[in-house]
């Protein structure tokens, strides 16, 4: 287990947003309920990251992400290549099922970024009530 798991798990548990937080290999999964969860992947050697809200009940085929931040370059997606922060980006599924890519200042500094992820997640969940 890498050292990053412990403080991230603590932040997630203390947020009060999740019913359960699990660690598995190189990721942390925090459940809002059984079909809705936050997945956090992080490589401390390269600082490569992915922080994504997943909805397994989504009717869209394939990727079940609702939104998230990562540094994956997504080859072939020209919209992403035009973003000034590429490959770092925020992506969000729009109501029509299409992806919107936006610039992001995240760079794999997990200690600073997870609190910001939680703020966005809290706002998203408040809007669903």
Give the C-alpha separation, 74 to 80, whole Å. 8
CB-facing half-sphere around the CA of 68: CA atoms within 13 A: 20
Return the pLDDT at 1. 43
- Among 55, 15, 48, which Cα is nearest to 34's? 55
pLDDT in tens, 24-80: 888 999 999 999 999 999 999 999 999 999 999 999 888 899 999 999 998 989 999
- Quick one: CA torsion of 86, 121, 30, 43, rounded to 10 degrees? 20
Single pTM value for the model:
0.93
User: What are the tens digits of pLDDT across the range 2-24?
Assistant: 589 999 999 999 999 999 999 98
128 has pLDDT over 90 = no
**Domain layout of the chain by residue ranges:** 5-127
Q: Is 86 exposed, middle or buried (0-12, 13-18, 19+ CB in 10 A)?
A: middle
Helix (H, G, I), strand (E, B) or coil at 55: strand
């Amino acid at each position: 287990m890498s050292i990053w798991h412990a403080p991230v798990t603590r932040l997630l548990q203390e947020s009060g947003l999740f019913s359960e937080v699990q660690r598995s290999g190189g990721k942390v999964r925090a459940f809002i309920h059984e079909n809705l969860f936050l997945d956090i992947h992080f490589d401390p050697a390269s600082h490569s990251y992915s922080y994504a809200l997943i909805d397994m009940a989504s009717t869209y085929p394939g990727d079940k992400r609702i939104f998230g931040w990562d540094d994956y370059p997504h080859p072939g997606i020209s919209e992403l290549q035009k973003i000034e922060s590429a490959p770092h980006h925020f992506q969000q599924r729009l109501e029509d099922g299409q992806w919107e890519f936006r610039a992001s200042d995240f760079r794999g500094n997990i200690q600073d970024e997870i609190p910001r992820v939680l703020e966005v997640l809290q706002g998203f969940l408040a809007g669903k009530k």
